[in-house]
Every structure is written in C-alpha cells, then in structure tokens.
Amino acid sequence: MFSFLILFPSEQSIDNKSSNKTVNEKFKKPFLNIGRRHRAGFFDKISPLDFKVSLGADKERAVEEPPPTDDTLEDCSTSEEESIDSSMASVEIESAESEPVPDASTSSADFENQRHSNTSIHWRDFFRTRKKRQGVSSQGLPIKPKLTRRKKKRIKGDVVPQISSSLDAELSCFKSSWKNFSLSELREATDNFSRENLIGEGGYAEVYKGRLKDGKFVAIKRLTRGSPEEMTVDFLSELGIIVHVDHPNIAQLIGYGVDGGMHLVLQLSPHGSLASLLYGSKEKLNWCIRFKIALGAAEGLCYLHEGCQRRIIHKDIKPANILLSEDFDAQISDFGLSKWLPNQWTHHIVSKVEGTFGYLPPEFFLHGIVNEKTDVFAFGVVLLELVTGRQALDGSQKSLVMWANPLIRENKIEQLVDPSLGDDYDSDQLNRVLVLASICICPSEADRPRMSQACPFITHKISS
C-alpha cells in the first residue's frame, strides 16, 4: 500500500478566505519582492498578473456555477447512451455516478438462486435494487475463483476470439480510413511480438515497434489488462475517444486489430517520446525544440478541451505520452484513461486512482475530481520537466513540484534551468514557460488557467 503526503507552499495555503482572492492578490507577494537583478532575474519582465482579468472571471464563474444535481446527471447519462454503444456508455455512467460495488469476498445460496432467475436485469438497475433492499446482504455476490496463470492464459485464448469476432459490427461506425489488421499481419510486422521490438510497457498495455509490408513504421499497442470483456470495453472506449479527434498535435491512428486480442496501430514517431529524449538520450534537447514541444502540447490539449466535438479529459499527460514527429512537433497519445465530460457537468468523480503519480493534482487525491484542470496541472509539471530536465518524481520519490516551487518564488532561475542547456536559451521564452508552469500547478484548481489562456500566454499574445 502506498501513502502519499501532499505538501503545499505555506504562502499558498488553502482556506475559505483564500478562495475569494484573485490571481492578482495570490501572486503579488511572491513576485513583487523580486528586484532588478542579473541576467537570471526573468520575472522582472512578466508575471502571473497578466492572467488577472481572464482568470478572475473564471473564478467567479466557478463559484457561481452549482454542482450538477442527480437529475442533471441522469439527463447527461441518457444523452451519452444515445450517442455511443452500450459498452462505452457503461464506462461513463460508472465513472460519473460512482455506484457502490458490492464486495465479492463471500457467497450466498439465496442470492445465487435469485441471480440465475433474473439474468436479464441490467447491472445498473440491479445495483440500485440491491441498494434499496435491506434484506439482501452486500456480501451476496459469489466468490471470484482464483485461477493459475496458465489457466488464465488458456481461458483468455478461448474467449478473446469469440468476443473479437463480435466487434466487427461494433466497429463499423468508426472511420472508414482505419484499417482492420489481422493477427498474422501484426505478428509479421513485430516479428511475432518480439521483446526486442517492445518500446513501451505499462499496467494497461504493451507497445511494440513494427514495420508493415509497405515499409511504413508503426507502433502497435496491445491491451493486456483485465478479462477479455474488460479489455473489450476499454478498447471500444479508447476508440470512441480517438474517432472524434483530428489535430496535428494528436497522434494519428492508422488502424486496429481485434483478431486474437485488442490492438491499436498508430503512426510511429521517428523520435519516439519526449521522455525518451529528455531522460534516455545522450544528446540533450536544445531550448528551441523544448519550447516548440511545450507550445505543441499546449495546442493539443486546448483542442481536446475546447476545440473537439466533445470535451475530452486526457487524464495522463506526461512526457511518455507526448510523441515527437520528424520535425519535433508534439503529438499527444494514449487515450486509454481519457474521459468525455458532458457540457452540463463541471467534473467527473472517480473512486480509484488512475494516472501517473507526480502529475495528479491535489483535488484528485482529496475528492476524486477530474476535469480540464486535471490536465492543466499535469501540463504544468511537464513544463517544469522541460525547463529543469528533472523527472516528476526522482529516484527518492521526491516531487518536482515541491522542489521547484520555492525556487520559483525566490526567483532562483539558475538553479531551475537544466545544466545541459548552459546559457543557450531565450530569456523571455523561458520566463513565460516558468510563469505559466507556476500557475498551472496551483493547489486550487480555480486558480489554474484554461488551456485556451495558456496558449496565447506562452506565445506572447495576451489581450489587454
């Protein structure tokens, strides 16, 4: 079990009074104490006060906007069910309504008889019925049998083809330009999923480098988490997100494969991910490329939040999920944890921790809140990584945010900048990136900017 201690700067402590402060008041003390200094004193030129008008309006709107009621949630979930398939709708309903799930540690003969006689009841209605009936114990579900690893593999191999064959009708609504790859094609492209071609691995999927018959290099993501049914839901959910996305700063999906498993085939970025170049490469990125990546990631997030057909929350913004094109254009990838956020909702409530530690904001741990500001916080951490060359969590699990915050307040720029950069960077650009990062990682989500505000700020297009 992991335990987490979230510490915030004492000057930015959160209480009932601080929620009424404007960004002007919040940042006046840290930045006005900075006098005219040597070359490293960048904050004399620009400060977070440039956000005071737009962010002030956001905070007022956040205070006035009431949280969604149960009726609103019902209306939203109804509209979601009409626009996507039942599997994807169940994912949204589960995350939004946070229905309690009964414990499956014990069995009950009475409940087993009742369950077999009512197999047509929808799970959602079933849990609501159980919630109202006090006579049925929450321990009524049967015990989940423990299977050996070999038996799991055999069962998965028997069930996946049956489920995969039924996906053809489900996938007919997606883009016609996507190709449905066979398992033999994917095996040939990856040398039978050789470990030598494994370029990424996590709790949800494995990513392999491959080469198609036409010579095109691709990245093949193979889902590995959960039962075949769970993988099918995750697979359709991710495809349902990607089908609405079309932007230069979003990774391009070439096709998919449902033969023998769930596979996504994406265009392989020549330079890999930002993480591989920032931390794993001997040749360090120069400042011009880092600034270009910061701008591209900002524009990609702005598109997901406000320019797409639906409000999409990525939930896992980090250097490993920012791919780099041949020209070092940032491309956001991996929508396995992403969520749709209906216009009537202010946020999702999640009951389990999903994401990457070091990039998750305080409200996520405290209340399970997920919205656009979740991505904004993670984007601020990525900006700090671009400037400092440090990871979000170092080897001793120390947070980059906790390390950088006091240095930003004290304007100790030379201690913040990646030593590999030396003096070869644009002072004004670096200043803007640091100021934006300091606002994006604010403990209070109301004090963080929208991505539509971050993009013009980082490019010096602030409206007066």
**Is 221 part of any known ligand binding site?**
yes
Residue-level pLDDT at 208: 92
The pLDDT score that the predictor gives to residue 363 is 93
Q: Which sequence spans correspond to the domains of the chain? A: 21-65+272-458, 160-267
Q: Which pLDDT score, from 0 to 100, does residue 14 have?
A: 43
Do 160-267 and 21-65+272-458 fall under one CATH topology?
A: no
To the question of domain 160-267 being in CATH 3.30.200.20, the answer is yes
Residue 322's pLDDT is 95
Q: Which residues are within 8 A (CB) of 389 and not within 5 positions of it... i.e. 6 or more apart?
A: 278, 284, 418, 419, 420, 421
pLDDT score for 245:
92
- Amino acid letter at 166? S
Distance of CA 237 to the CA centre of its chain: 14
Q: What is the pLDDT of residue 167?
A: 53
pLDDT of residue 461: 58
pLDDT for residue 188: 95
Residue 205, beta-bridge partner list: 223
Rounded to two decimals, the pTM is 0.65
Q: Is 259 a catalytic residue?
A: no
pLDDT at 453: 95
Q: Which CATH number fits domain 21-65+272-458: 1.10.510.10, 3.40.50.1000, 3.40.50.300, 1.10.3720.10?
A: 1.10.510.10
Per-residue pLDDT of the chain (464 residues; tens, 9 = 90+): 444 444 444 444 444 444 444 444 444 444 434 333 444 444 444 555 455 444 554 554 444 445 554 444 444 444 444 444 444 444 444 444 444 444 444 444 454 445 444 444 444 454 454 444 443 333 333 333 444 555 444 434 444 444 444 555 555 555 567 899 999 999 999 999 999 998 877 767 889 999 999 999 999 999 987 788 888 888 888 888 888 899 999 999 999 998 888 999 998 888 889 999 999 877 889 999 999 999 999 999 999 999 988 899 999 999 999 999 999 999 999 998 898 888 888 887 887 878 899 999 999 999 889 999 999 999 999 999 999 999 999 888 889 999 999 999 999 999 999 999 999 999 999 999 999 999 999 999 999 999 999 999 988 754 43
Q: Which of 50, 259, 316, 329 is catalytic?
A: 316
Per-residue three-class SS string for the chain: CCCCCCCCCHHHCCCCCHHHCCHHHHHHHHHHCCCCCCCCCHHHCCCHHHHHHHHHHHHHHHHHCCCCCHHHHHHHHHHHHHHCCHHHHHHHHHHHHCCCCCCCCCCCHHHHHHHHHCCCCCHHHHHHHHHHCCCCCCCCCCCCCCCCHHHHHHHHHHHHHHHHHCHHHHHHHCCCCCEECCHHHHHHHHCCCCHHHEEEECCCEEEEEEECCCCCEEEEEEECCCCHHHHHHHHHHHHHHHCCCCCCCECCEEEEECCCCCEEEEECCCCCEHHHHHHCCCCCCCHHHHHHHHHHHHHHHHHHHHHCCCCEECCCCCHHHEEECCCCCEEECCCCCCEECCCCCCCEECCCCCCCCCCCCHHHHHHCEECHHHHHHHHHHHHHHHHHCCCCECCCCCEHHHHHHHHHHCCCHHHHCCHHHCCCCCHHHHHHHHHHHHHHCCCCHHHCCCHHHHHHHHCCCCCC
